[in-house]
Structure 1
Amino acid sequence: MGWTRKDILHMEDLKPSEIQIIINTAKPMKEILSRTVKKLPTFRGRSVYNLFFESSTRTRTSFETAAKILGADTTSLAVAQSSVNKGESLLDTVRTLQAMKPDLVVIRHSSSGAAHFLAKELKAGVINAGDGQHEHPTQALLDLFTMQEHLGSVEGKKILLVGDILHSRVARSNVWALKALGAEVVLVGPPTLLTPEIKSWGVKTTYHLDEELAGADVIMALRLQLERQKAGLLPSLREYSQLYGITAERVQRTGKKTLIMHPGPVNRGVEIESSIVNSSQSVIEEQVTNGVAVRMAIMYLLLGGGTNHVVD
């Protein structure tokens, strides 16, 4: 199967075969990252615009690095320095972008659906780097790549997503990706962050982490937005940590060499005990490296690199 998509907007849209094409393309991209000279001529003269309406140093830097290694020219538009702060609408921004004739646009926006809107209006390819509380597809793809490196297939594997499920676009995208590839997904969190609407996602939900630890192949802790406590959704961070924190004792109770994951940045001692973040079972740093490889793969495919080979 060849690659035909112009955009990467939602995990829910991607077929398992397309997911696997991205992951297979990311493997040689990761090898390029280990070279002394990390620069390809593949897309010299092509332009990638990073349009971030929300601050995100990690994701923005990852996309910038990926584009630069592929040889593309990159421009980052930080909203604080743009005319958006002067009341310019997203449509006006799109028209300005169109006039610049970009080849690829990466967008992060606080409104769900912003990436979809951009993709409809732009001739350029669009990558959703996170829209509102909706989706974050490249995060799910890098998570999946990391899991496959360690577990082989995720089919039949037990994956726990723990924490603020309600507000997490990472959780949504991971659920779609993992379900598509046959994993057993369990969502774990306090009742205020695991509302009934989540049952429509079609995976198991529970308030009780300790009951789900046995046999877990992966535990992914989600970043707890600390303002949730101020909003009254959490009684205290201490109580949250007692009930849902990933501790050495909890990891031991899985009975497996469970992978510990986190989209980052980690609130140490709240979501995960510090000793676990730095343990041999933690693949949190690998996720960062794999993020660059996966984003390189996506840009490569969207810019017409093909699916059968990678230019050396």
Structure 2
Amino acid sequence: MTQLQVASHKHLLGTQGMSAEEITSILDRAAYWEQAPTKLSNHLNGKFVANMFFENSTRTRFSFEVAEKRLGAEVLNFAAAVSSVQKGESIYDTVKTLESMGIDAGVIRMKPNGLLAEIAQKIKVPLINAGDGNSEHPTQALLDLYTMRKHFGELRGLNVSIIGDILHSRVARSNLWALKTLGANVSFCAPQVMQAPELAAHAPYVSMEEAIKGDVVMMLRVQLERHEEGLFKSQEDYREAYGMTVKREASMAAHAIIMHPAPINRNVEIDDELVECGRSRIFEQMGNGVPIRMAVIERALS
């Protein structure tokens, strides 16, 4: 088997097409790393991992860096704002340059849609998608599934509602594919201008009243700046129509949980007092990102 074939098997470009067994193995390995008795491991001692962020990020970048360092890898952090990309170098040439210097894996985040898969076909080291355009954000979906599984024990049959800007959400797409693969039921809720019609065949669009009946109610960050033609005159108007308000939270099922991939617009998609309420798993999700990303990096480099 060639190096390129081996690397292609270890890329993580999206959850679409992943098997239930593969997803479950990552969740199981994350549980192992979460319960590890020591914080630091020499598991990937001598391996070099480059975090290549061509788009700004806080949670995802630091979560990957913590995961890499806990595994004992040498970490190279790349920021487009201070790189030759500012001088006109292509993203592919930048990735190829780092590959030629001897990195063993790359974590990559970018704005263009579809470019990552094209680059992955030409790169011999495994690449992990940390978010590309409106396409996918697989490790976010995996940490979301991990959070749900920890709470409910089982994902099959779970009713998950995803509410907000579906049109521009890579999180919604990765969660949709992964959840359906593991047997969960997914529904979307969004104003018409924020719907992705091509996803309707995979998950129905329901009313806000129906959405909050789910076992998991996942709010998405509202990107009102992308909808200048605008359905809403203000953030308050959006909150009234599609926000997780205290009143709506009170009508949720007793066992249901609230999730959000963050960053959070407090008092827009979710009321401030609900961000850390008893049924919120928002900061737990962020914490779960570390063991999930440890499992994903280990998968790429094992």
Sort the TM-score into its range (normalised by shorter chain). over 0.9
Shift in Å at residue 158 of structure 1?
1.0
Aligned to 1:237: 235
Give the paired residue count: 296
Q: What CA distance in whole angstroms lies between the structure 2 residues aligned with 1:239 and 1:123?
A: 49
Shift in Å at residue 94 of structure 1?
2.8
Q: 1:43 to 1:211 in 2, by over 3 A?
A: closer
Instruction: Give TM-score scaled by structure 1 length.
Output: 0.91
Structure 1: which amino acid aligns with 2:17?
Answer: D
**Mapping 1:1-312, distance limit 5 Å:** 5-32=9-36, 35=37, 37-200=38-201, 202-206=202-206, 208-214=207-213, 216-304=214-302
Q: 1:68 to 1:292 in 2, by over 3 A?
A: same
Aligned to 1:310: none
Shift in Å at residue 195 of structure 1?
4.2
Shift in Å at residue 233 of structure 1?
5.0
Q: What CA distance in whole angstroms lies between the structure 2 residues aligned with 1:170 and 1:176?
A: 10
Contact 2:8-2:120 within 8 A present in 1 as well: no
Note the alpha carbon deviations across 1:82-109, whole angstroms, 9 max, x for none.
Answer: 0011001123213312211211100000
Cα-Cα RMSD: 1.6
Q: Any stretches of 5+ residues in structure 1 without a counterpart?
A: 305-312
- Secondary structure at the counterpart of residue 167 of structure 2: coil
- Secondary structure at the counterpart of residue 205 of structure 2: strand
Contact 1:54-1:108 within 8 A present in 2 as well: yes
Shift in Å at residue 62 of structure 1?
0.5
Q: What CA distance in whole angstroms lies between the structure 2 residues aligned with 1:77 and 1:195?
A: 32
- Secondary structure at the counterpart of residue 10 of structure 2: coil
- Secondary structure at the counterpart of residue 77 of structure 2: strand
Runs of 4+ in 1 over 4 A off after TM superposition: none
| Identity score, percent | 45
Q: 1:264 to 1:66 in 2, by over 3 A?
A: same
Q: What CA distance in whole angstroms lies between the structure 2 residues aligned with 1:98 and 1:4?
A: 15
- Secondary structure at the counterpart of residue 205 of structure 1: coil
Contact 2:211-2:217 within 8 A present in 1 as well: no
